Amino acid sequence: MNNFLYEKKHIFVLILLLSLSFTLITLSLRSRNNLAEIEKTILLFVGPILRVSDVPKEWANNIWKNYLNLQNYRKENIKIKKELLELQTTVKKLPELKFEIAELYEKLRIKEEKRSESHYAKVIGKEKNIFSKTILIDKGSTQNIKANMIVVNSQGLVGRIDQTHPFTSRVLLITDPRSPVHVKVQRTRTQGVFSMINATKGIVEFVSKDSDILPGDLLITSGLGEIFPKGIHVGYVVESKNHSSFKKLVVEPAVNFNKLEILEIREEIKRD
């Protein structure tokens, strides 16, 4: 019996304190002034107990608030994932859109710069021959393509028509050893002969030794010779090397020959 009372003593204490509190309140209604000090003393002990009784309610309110916040976070997370998926889809389309824009831009730029009636063609093949640098295009004699018509793109000079067939033509690139180009430095009008030495570099020979040449100078066709009209971009000076009686220029071609896609074939063969 004693053990039972000992184990349950906190319950009895709580009941006792609540009873005292109730008694105190009842008495205070009868004699408020006389018991004010005693009431304050009792409430001093009973108050914390009553406040502790509010803890489960606050705890439940916090759990509910956290649940609502979690639901909002989940909705926001779903929205963000959806927007991210849409963004990823758009990003995947960018390379193709970029290609289409570049294709249209190239057509428009060529059209703005053209000085004669032109034909547009796509590259449909390359000849794999170390001694010959040619490509195949999808326009031929049926479209009035003729031998020695010049071929350009928005960057500059590509080559000339070498052979024609009814629906295709072969273009001899200026990277071919058989296709030297008479050029001049646009800034100083210094002239020379351009030819390619590998896939990415060319040289200009027979340049006057005392000529004013700077890296970055633009080389254009001079109009000499029987094929290419003057004024077409050919390349940019990378380096100038002095020899005994002349200079040799190392040149970066204006055209990227590894990325030929859309070409313009100009009907005029040569301008004065």
- pLDDT of amino acid 4: 46
Separation between Cα atoms, residue 135 and residue 21, nearest integer Å: 105
59-117 pLDDT, tens per residue?
Answer: 667 777 777 777 787 888 888 888 888 887 777 777 667 667 766 765 665 555 555 56
181-256, which class in CATH?
A: mainly beta
Pick from 72-81, 153-162, 195-204 the range whose average pLDDT is largest: 153-162
Residue with more model confidence, 91 or 187: 187
Do 118-173 and 181-256 show the same overall fold? yes
Helix, strand, coil % (nearest 5) of the chain?
Answer: 40, 30, 35
What is the pLDDT confidence band of residue 221, given thresholds at 50, 70 and 90? Answer: very high
Q: Is the pLDDT of residue 33 over 80?
A: no
Q: Are 175 and 199 in contact (CB under 8 A)?
A: yes
What is the pLDDT confidence band of residue 215, given thresholds at 50, 70 and 90? Answer: very high
Domain made up of 118-173: CATH architecture? Beta Barrel (2.40)
Domains of the chain, by residue range, sit at 2-53, 118-173, 181-256
- pLDDT of amino acid 150: 93
- pLDDT of amino acid 111: 58
Residue with more model confidence, 39 or 134: 134
236-267 pLDDT, tens per residue?
Answer: 999 998 877 888 999 999 999 888 999 999 87
- Which single residue is written with the structure tokens 């490509």? 135
Q: Is the pLDDT of residue 49 over 90?
A: no
DSSP assignment letter at 68: H
- The token pair at 225 is 């010779």
Separation between Cα atoms, residue 63 and residue 68, nearest integer Å: 9
Q: What is the dihedral of CA 227, 154, 232, 133, to 10 degrees?
A: -40
CA angle 268, 271, 272 (to 5 degrees): 160
Residue with more model confidence, 154 or 5: 154
Mean pLDDT score of the chain = 77
pTM comes to: 0.57
- Which single residue is written with the structure tokens 């200009």? 204
Residue with more model confidence, 62 or 57: 62
- Which single residue is written with the structure tokens 């070409």? 263
What is the pLDDT confidence band of residue 47, given thresholds at 50, 70 and 90? Answer: low
